[in-house]
Amino acid sequence: MIDARQLTKRYGDKTAVDGLDFVVKPGTVTGFLGPNGAGKSTTMRMIVGLDAPTTGSVTVNGHHYARHRAPLQEVGALLEAKSIHPGRSAYNHLRALALTHGIPRRRVDEVIDLSGLASVAKKRAGAFSLGMGQRLGIAAALLGDPQTVMLDEPVNGLDPEGVLWIRNLLKALADEGRTVFVSSHLMSEMALVADHLIIVGRGRLLADTTVGDLIREAGGDTVTVATQDPARLRDVLAGPGVDITGRVGSEELQVTGLTARQIGLTAAEHGIPLFELSARTVSLEEAFMDLTREAVEYHGSTTGIETLGRPA
């Protein structure tokens, strides 16, 4: 359980995190989404007390992270960059962290096996590939058998097998009743694992929703239908859970709550001719882009030289 209240972080004039309010609940995978520079990493660093909030607060399982007697048992975190000494072996790195909490050697061996590092555990961590480094970071996050697991961009640098491993791991952790909080800038990846989504842009909360609701709100199930007699069509389609919109004087209607197939059959039944019948399916990616378009920190441009260097 992570509870952020009016969480704010300013660096000089720049506000990295701006009054975030959210709750991450146990038993589900919560995706923390936002474009680069949205304040995801800063938020996560504040959760584990590496950065102090300018105003507001964030608690984990009811207390500030630093006030827990065994912090690694409350939150296991994988942070953005490598958080290891390259000269130390993976085993010694985990062992040093374990010693601070009195975590037995047995548990160190367990997380090494769990993260697939057994063959390289005695090697210097500096020689690890990006993917191996991520696995070591995840091993460290799981070391204290934590109630809350928080991972910042965990699939970065992982090969397809590693990505699949992370997905299954996250789901398994949530199924055990743990709080799982995972950041990503890739909606497509989140769609596969997350049940709940917290979407931020430029430090502000844009949406606190579920995957299904997000698609619905973005008009995912809208069917566009055009007919000579929209008023009559509106009457015959009307029903519970059906929402029909259209401009006055236009032949087009937007229908949600019915499939294109159902609309076509109903219209034929009543002898209403249709000119157009098209389902507009919005992908999660599009819904996310719509939501964050305004809030993207660094816009790429393909339109020409004159837009270069202008603040987005």
Which residues are CB-neighbours of 119 under 8 A, at least 6 positions away? none
Q: Is 87 in the site for other proteins (CB under 8 A)?
A: yes
Provide the minimum distance between the beta carbon of 173 and other proteins in the complex, in angstroms, as a whole number: 8
Among 22, 32, 65, 181, binds other proteins (CB under 8 A): 65
Q: The tokens 């000119």 sit on which residue?
A: 275
CB of 85 to other proteins, least distance (A): 4
Tell me: does residue 203 bind other proteins (CB under 8 A): no
122 belongs to the binding site for other proteins (CB under 8 A)? no
Tokens of 118: 């057994």
Single out the residue of 21, 57, 177, 268 in contact with other proteins (rule: CB under 8 A): 177
The span of 72-80, 208-216, 259-267, 302-310 binding other proteins (CB under 8 A) equals 72-80
Total Cβ atoms within 10 A of residue 65: 20
Beta pairing partners, 9: 17
Number of residues counted as binding other proteins (CB under 8 A): 49
Of positions 4, 16, 20, 72, contacts other proteins by CB under 8 A: 72
Closest by CA to 295, choosing from 22, 8, 80, 33, is 33
CA 175, distance to chain mean position in Å, is 18
DSSP 89: B
Which one of 7, 29, 58, 103 is in contact with other proteins (CB under 8 A)?
103
Contact with other proteins (CB under 8 A) among 4, 20, 48, 158? 48
Closest by alpha carbon to 252, among 233, 282, 230? 230
* Residue 99 CB, nearest approach to other proteins (Å): 4
Tokens 């509106």 sit on residue = 234
- The residue among 122 and 280 lying less far from other proteins, judged by its C-beta, is 122
Q: Which is nearer to other proteins, 93 or 185 (CB)?
A: 93
Query: Does the footprint of other proteins cover residue 99 (CB under 8 A)?
Result: yes
Using the rule CB under 8 A, is 74 a contact of other proteins?
yes
Closest CB 129 distance from other proteins, rounded Å: 17
What's the Cα-to-Cα distance from 35 to each of 120, 202, 250, 285, 293, rounded to whole Å?
34, 8, 37, 12, 9
Distance in angstroms (rounded) separating the CA atoms of residues 40 and 311: 21
Contacts of 233 (CB under 8 A, 6+ apart): 225, 227, 253, 267, 272
The token pair at 275 is 């000119």
Rule CB under 8 A: is residue 130 a binding residue for other proteins?
no
| Residues of this chain that bind other proteins (CB under 8 A) | 1, 25-27, 45, 48-52, 61-62, 65-66, 68-74, 77, 79, 81-89, 92-93, 95-97, 99-103, 140, 144-145, 147, 176-178
